[in-house]
Structure 1
Amino acid sequence: MLIALYLLVNLAAQAQTGSLADVSFMEGRWKGTFNGGPIDAAWAAPQGDNLPGFMRMMKDNKVTMYEMLIFEQTEKGPIVLVKHFKPGLIGSEEKDKSDRYSFIEAKKNQALFEKEDGSIRIIYEKRSDNQLVIQRGNQKDGKWVFADLFVFDRVK
């Protein structure tokens, strides 16, 4: 009985740890709209301990922001490191800082992360073979409320 309980607890802990395989569905090139302009995103396949991604936001045919997103595998599961850049590749965060999000859980084609200060949660979700959505969640009345932040269609 104790062995079965030990195995069950270990399996539950491993399931909560997660891996880059939980976000591999993001691989590919995606396009959407945001704030009145196009937004492009691309993610490479996971390799080793990382899965890199990139976004470009534009308005009136000019870049408004670049964003680098790197999923890195850690002992506690994947984390997301995010850096923002203004036109001219001018960093928004301090050069040795990035926004950090920790893995919470994953389901098929969906992964949930939380910002290290606990203020924001992000859901990455592949809703179909040709649609990827990033949702942003905030606490409201003690519950997490999510809304679509970016909706992308696959570029073929």
Structure 2
Amino acid sequence: MRLFPALFLFFSISVYTQNTLSLEEGSASPRADLSQISWMEGHWRGEAFGGITEEIWSPPMGGSMMFSFKLVVEGAVSFYELGHIRQLDDTLVFELKHFHGDLKGWEEKEEVQRFKLVKTEGNRLYFEGFTFEKVSGDEINIYASIQQEDGTQEEVTFNYKRPTE
């Protein structure tokens, strides 16, 4: 019976890490355009990192969809992200910058976090380390592969719903 727990752990880990992907070195991103992710438009709210998360996405305009992210823990802003998914030639790229609650940047002035498109599949768009999933018209998931302080990667699920208030 020792085999069952080992198999369960193996399949749990396999399923757990299937939500985010990486682009193989030397591979090009597939063709895509903003119409394939325009369903992200709107106001979304969820819970993660011990607080309330909020994302607001603009409609496609000028070759991009702009977003803002906010994490509020114990009534105070922990950090923000600002960024966009933009059309780059015949594909998409996801780019962002982080800011502390006082708007002091994490990255250097000219530095931008950039994630290339890996693939599109049904209701999902896979960027390097991030996956955007449409669950329904009022619910989405964003899966993020986040590097921990010890160097390991952890996949975090952000489940968002449209606020009703």
Could you tell me the TM-score, scaled by structure 2's length?
A: 0.72
Q: Deviations over 1:42-76 (max 9, x none)?
A: 10111121100111001010000001121111114
Q: Is 2:148 aligned against 1:134?
A: no
Instruction: Give, in whole Å, the separation in 1 of the partners of 2:65 and 2:157.
Output: 21
Unaligned residue ranges in structure 1 (runs of 5+): 1-14, 115-120, 139-144
Query: Bigger shift: 100-109 or 30-39?
Result: 100-109
Q: Deviations over 1:75-120 (max 9, x none)?
A: 1411011100001100000111111011111133310011xxxxxx
CA contact (8 A) 1:25 1:109 kept: no
Instruction: Give, in whole Å, the separation in 1 of the partners of 2:40 and 2:83.
Output: 12
**Which residue of the other structure, out of 41, 56, 60, is the alignment partner of 2:74?**
60
- Residue 7 of structure 1 corresponds to none
- Residue 37 of structure 1 corresponds to 51
**Which residue of the other structure, out of 128, 150, 154, is the alignment partner of 2:158?**
150
CA contact (8 A) 2:33 2:90 kept: no
Pairwise CA RMSD = 2.0
In terms of fraction of residues, the more strand-rich structure is: 1
* Aligned-pair CA distance for 1:22: 1.7
Instruction: Give, in whole Å, the separation in 1 of the partners of 2:115 and 2:141.
Output: 17
**Which residue of the other structure, out of 49, 62, 85, is the alignment partner of 1:48?**
62
CA contact (8 A) 1:136 1:148 kept: yes
Amino acid at match of 1:90: K
Instruction: Give, in whole Å, the separation in 2 of the partners of 1:146 and 1:102.
Output: 19
Amino acid at match of 1:99: Q
Q: Deviations over 1:3-28 (max 9, x none)?
A: xxxxxxxxxxxx92111112111111
Query: Bigger shift: 70-79 or 90-99?
Result: 70-79
CA 1:18–1:146 in structure 2 vs 1: closer, same or farther (change >3 Å)? Answer: farther
Instruction: Give, in whole Å, the separation in 1 of the partners of 2:154 and 2:160.
Output: 17
Amino acid at match of 1:134: I
* Aligned-pair CA distance for 1:124: 0.4
Aligned structure 1 segments of 4 or more residues deviating by more than 6 angstroms: none
What percent of counterpart residues are identical? 26
